[in-house]
Chains A and B, each alone.
Chain A
Amino acid sequence: MPSETATTVQATYPSRFNAFVGGLWRIIRSIHLPLNDPFAMIGIVIYLVFFLVAVFANQIAPYDPTEILFTEAYDLAADRLPGEDGFVLGTTSLGRDIFSQLVYGSQSALLIGLTAAAVVAVIGTIVGLISGYFGGVVDMMLMRLADIAFGIPFLPFVIVLAAFMEPSIWNVVFAMALILWRDTGRVVRSQVLSLRTRAYVEAARVSGSSNLKIVFRHIAPNILPLSFLYGSIAIGWAILTEASISFLGFGDPETISWGYMLQDAYASQALSTGAYYWFIPPGVCIVLVVVAGFFISRGYEEILFPKLKE
C-alpha cells in the first residue's frame, strides 16, 4: 500500500472510529437487552455457556467426535456405558465418544441458530420497513409474497429443498431465509404503519429528510426490539429444524450436530437397548438452547408490551 493513502486513512481513522462506536452504541441502546428479567438472564447465561463450549470445543472434548476409538487392549470401544473406560457419557455403537460429539454439536447449533436468526430478522425487518413505509403497489406485492410463504408448509419444504441440494447445514438457513421472514415482516409492517403517522416522522418529512433517512434513522431504531424478539425465536426454530432434518436423514453427514447424534442413536436401535445416555443428552442440549431463546424473547415481549406483565 502506498504511504500516502496510509496516512490519509490514519488521519480519518479516529473520527470514523468514533462514528462507528457511536453508531454501535446507539444500536445496543435501541436493542434494549432485557437485563432486569430473571428468565431473560437465565437465557443469556445459557447462551454464554454454550458459546464458550463451542469456542473451546477442541480443548473441552477429549476425543475427535468422528474418531472410532479402541481400548488399550485394542478392542473396539463400542457401546461403553457412561464412566466405563473413562468415557464420560459412554460411546456410540460404532465406538465414538458421545461427550465429544455433544461438545462439537454446540458449534453447528450456534452457527445455524445465529446465522438463521440474523437472516430472518434482517430480511423480515427490511420487508416490513419497505412495505409499511412506502405502501401502495410495493406493499401489495410484498404482502402477497408473505401470503404465499404462509401457504408453504415449512418442514416439508425444507425436506424437499434439502433433498435436491448438496447435504449441508446451510440448507436450513437458506430455507428459513426463503420462508420464515413472513412473521417478522408482517409484524414489523404493522408497527411501521403506526409509526409513520407519528408527529416526529411528519416533522422529519416536512424538514426535508429523504425517505431513506426517515426509514433508517427515525423508524428503524424503534422497531429493532421487535426484530430482536423475532430473531431470538428464530434461533430456536433453526436449531429445531436442523435437528429434524438431520434426524430424517437429509442432514450433512460430515457435520456433527445434535440432530445427527439423535438420528445415529435412533438408527442404531438405542431405544430398544435402553441406551438413554446416548439420546437423552443431545435432546437436553437442544431444549436448553431453544428455551434460552424463548426466555430472552419473553424479556423483549415485556419491554414491548408492558401490559402482559400484569
Chain B
Amino acid sequence: MSGVKRFGSRLLQLVFVLWAVATILFLIFRLMPGSPLAAYIDPSFTEEQQRILMARFGLDRSLFDQYLLYIWNLLHGDLGESFFYGQPVGERVLMLLPNTLVLSLFSIILAYMIGVVGGAYLAWKRGSFLEGATIPFVLTTRAMPEFWLGMVLLAVFSFSLGWFPAGGMRTAGSEYPSLLALYTSGDFWRHLFLPALTLAIYFHGLPLLLMRSNMLDVMSEDFVTMAKIKGLSNWTIVVRHAARNALLPVATSLAIAIGYQMQGSVVVETVFSWPGLGRELVRAVSASDYPLAQGAFLLIAVVVILMNLLADLLYGLLDPRISHA
C-alpha cells in the first residue's frame, strides 16, 4: 500500500472511531435512568418552566432527533452549556486543556530523560547488580497507584518538609497578565514539580525498558563490533553509535505515552488540585453536570485518538517494514 493511501485509510479510521466514541457517549448519557436535568431542575419549577427548559436543551424531541442534533452541534464545535457554570462547555474545556497539556508534556519529558539515559546506562553496564535490579524496580513503580504515589510525595515534600506547595497551580491571590506569564513564572513551576514528578516516576519505565532492550540489540550489531575493533572508546560507541540507533523506537512510543498520560492525569490532577481537564471531568461527573462531563471526556478521547494515529504514522515512517504489513 502506498504511503498516501495508507494515510488516507488511517484518517478514515480516525473519523470512524471519533464518531463511534461520540455515539457511545451519547448513549451512555441519554439512556441512563432519570432525566439528565434532574440535578438542574428545581422541584419548585412550574410545569411550564420545566417544559421550556427541556425544549432549550432539546430534550422534548425523540431520541433520534436528539442524536442528530448532538452530532450536528459537535460538528460545529458546540458542546452545549455547562449546568454549573452557565458557560459554554467548549470555552471551559479549551481553557483547561493547556493546563493538562503542560503537566503531561513536562512529566513526559522528565520520564523520557530519566528513561533514555537510564536505559542506555543499564545496557552499557550489562550484568551488573544494578542492571539485575532494574526490572523488579521498574515493575514496582508501574504497580504503584499514581494517586497514592502523589499522596506520599505530598505528605513528605509538601506537608512534612514544606519544600513544595500543597496543590493548585499558583499561589492564591496571584495574578498574571497572560497564560504565558503564568507558565513562565517560578511560582507555577514550583506547583508543577510534584504532580509532574509523580507522573514521571510512574511513566519512566516504558522508555527505560525500551531503550535498554534496543541498546542490547544494537550493541550486538556488526557496526558496533567494527567500532570496537577500531579501538573507539566505550563512551563514543555507546553514545555516538549505539544510542542514536536505539533511540528511534523510543521516540515513536512518545505519542502513545502522551495519550496514556492524559488518562493518568485524571487522578493526579485530583490529588494535587491541578485545574486541568481530568479534575474537571471528575468534578463534573460528581456534580451531575452532564454537558461538561461529556465535553471533557470527548476532548480527552480526541487527544488519545490523535496520539494513537500519530504513533502509528511515526512508526511506519521510521520503520518502512511496518507499512507493508
Contacts and interface: CB of A to CB of B under 8 A. Distances in A.
B27 to A, nearest CB: 11
Contacts of B142: 290-291, 294
Nearest to B305: A151
Given A153-B297, A279-B148, A287-B140, A272 B282 contact: no
Interface residues of A, number: 47
A159 B139 contact: no
B297 A156 contact: yes
B136 interface: yes
Contacts of A148: 17, 20-21, 24
A148 B21 CA distance: 7
Given A156-B278, A156-B297, A283-B144, A248 B270 contact: yes
Given A156-B300, A266-B151, A164 B140 contact: no
B28 A164 contact: yes
Interface in A79-117: none
A152 B20 CA distance: 10
A150 B21 CA distance: 10
Contact of A274 (B25, B143, B159, B282): B159
Interface in B232-287: 259, 262-264, 266-267, 270-271, 278, 281-282, 285-286
B309 to A, nearest CB: 10
Chain A interface main SS type: helix
A236 B143 contact: yes
Given A147-B17, A247-B145, A160 B304 contact: no
Contacts of B216: 310
Interface in A215-269: 236, 240, 243-244, 247-250, 259, 262, 265-266
Contacts of B143: 236, 240, 286-287, 290-291, 294
A98 to B, nearest CB: 15
Interface in B6-64: 13, 16-18, 20-21, 24-25, 28, 32-33
Interface of B: 13, 16-18, 20-21, 24-25, 28, 32-33, 135-136, 139-140, 142-149, 151-152, 154-155, 158-160, 166, 213, 216, 259, 262-264, 266-267, 270-271, 278, 281-282, 285-286, 288, 293, 296-297, 300-301, 304-305, 308
